[in-house]
Structure 1
Amino acid sequence: MALAKPKRADARRNYDQIVAAAEAEIDRHGADASLEEIARRAGVGSATLHRHFPTRQALLEAVFHDRVEVLCAQADELAKRPDAGAALVDWLRAVAVYGATTRGLARSLLDGGRDPAPPVDSTCEAMLVGAGGELLRLAHDAAAVRPEVSIVDLLTLVNAVSLATEGSTDAAAEATRLVDLALEGVRPRG
């Protein structure tokens, strides 16, 4: 479900300009990018920014929503693979790499559960839980993952890896290596 966009042409244009400016600023400065600088770069006042996005988290959700939809679509494709365990691991690697190489994403996912502003079913976190939950269910059915492992456990782990590797020289390779290392612990024992 996409985040609702304003209907009037001028309001929609302001919305789109704010999101574009926020993407650029977050790419440069991370999730703590200055809201005042985002408004300035968008060519709108602070009040206009806050009218469209009452909280920083609401703005982050708008910035990352489309990117997270791509990860969810990837989960849907991976769910068709015969090896459910490998599909889950491939998706978790992709989430970790995406978080490590998309400045601010991992941080925004951590904060998502604390801000009630966006509708619960459209938050990036909820989207990832839904998409990954299906992959995990398939992996559980195939006995490829320990039964007590939850999708929240896995996303927390992957998000921690993303945060730890964000900004490193080769964030994608480092995130992949650490996810592979960490996921050894979720496989069934003996």
Structure 2
Amino acid sequence: MRADARKNYDQLLAVARQVIAEEGAEASLRDIARRAGVGLGTLYRHFPTREALLDALLRNGFDALARRAAELEAREDQGAALATWLREAVAMTHDYRGAIALMVAAIGDENSALHGSCTGLRAAGTRLLHRAQAAGAARADMDGNDLFALISALAWLADQPPLVPRADHLFDIITGAILTRQ
């Protein structure tokens, strides 16, 4: 990629991250291009669809979260590792307001630009869940789909103004329901 094209690409991603955090996943692509100081055609050359832009934004976060899961697998306390990762996953999901429905849909749609990123992240979380289950630290009747449904629900709750003050408390309740007492 040429240097000027790389600069435009990076600028579009930085601005899109900010705009989506402010306005949600349905933010105006025209506004993103304008705020990035490029034309709409430049945005579409780099990201032909909204989903392609979201994929580029989410891929970095998902990859970092998958690496974080691998780091946490080395912890002795697998229940604490799962809870730490779950909190980080909820926070990252919340940062991309409005993308939850797209992420959930992408897991089941192999043609989605987001499919690979979403399934990779789900696999990393599922490995943490399985390790916690094998250690007797997490309930055995859950699977990765349940875990990701809870991540989506907790991220949604944290985006509801009347519930924001209770988000940490609700997270603790859900985590308490997942982790077993030893």
How far apart are residue 100 of structure 1 and its match?
Answer: 3.2
Distance across 2 between alignment mates of 1:24 and 1:115: 28
Kindly provide the amino acid, as one letter, of the partner of residue 50 in structure 1.
Answer: Y
Structure 1 residue corresponding to 2:113, chosen from 101, 111, 118: 118
Structure 2 residue corresponding to 1:181, chosen from 165, 168, 173: 173
Kindly provide the amino acid, as one letter, of the partner of residue 120 in structure 2.
Answer: M
What is the percent sequence identity of the aligned residues? 38
Distance across 2 between alignment mates of 1:175 and 1:50: 37
Equivalent in the alignment of 2:144: 151
1:41 alignment partner, SS class: helix
TM-score by length of 1: 0.79
Kindly provide the amino acid, as one letter, of the partner of residue 99 in structure 1.
Answer: T
8 Å contact kept, 2:20–2:96 = no
How far apart are residue 117 of structure 1 and its match?
Answer: 4.3
Whether 2:42 is the aligned partner of 1:48: answer yes
1:166 alignment partner, SS class: coil
8 Å contact kept, 2:158–2:167 = yes
- Structure 1 residue runs of 5 or longer lacking an equivalent are 1-6
How far apart are residue 37 of structure 1 and its match?
Answer: 0.6
Q: Which sits farther off after the overlay, 108-117 or 13-22?
A: 108-117
Distance across 2 between alignment mates of 1:34 and 1:75: 33
Equivalent in the alignment of 1:30: 24
Structure 1 residues 31 and 119 mapped into 2: Cα distance closer, same or farther (>3 Å)? closer
Distance across 1 between alignment mates of 2:87 and 2:114: 27
2:74 alignment partner, SS class: coil
Whether 2:61 is the aligned partner of 1:67: answer yes
Structure 2 residue corresponding to 1:84, chosen from 78, 81, 89: 78
- Structure 2 residue runs of 5 or longer lacking an equivalent are none
Runs of 4+ in 1 over 6 A off after TM superposition: none
How far apart are residue 188 of structure 1 and its match?
Answer: 5.5
Aligned length: 181
Distance across 1 between alignment mates of 2:2 and 2:157: 41
Deviations 1:40-68 (A, max 9, x none): 12222222212221221221122233233
Distance across 2 between alignment mates of 1:60 and 1:34: 13
8 Å contact kept, 2:70–2:124 = yes
Q: Which sits farther off after the overlay, 68-77 or 28-37?
A: 68-77
Whether 2:128 is the aligned partner of 1:135: answer yes
Distance across 2 between alignment mates of 1:174 and 1:96: 14
Looking at both structures, which has the greater relative contact order when contacts are Cα pairs under 8 Å and sequence separation is at least 6?
Answer: 1
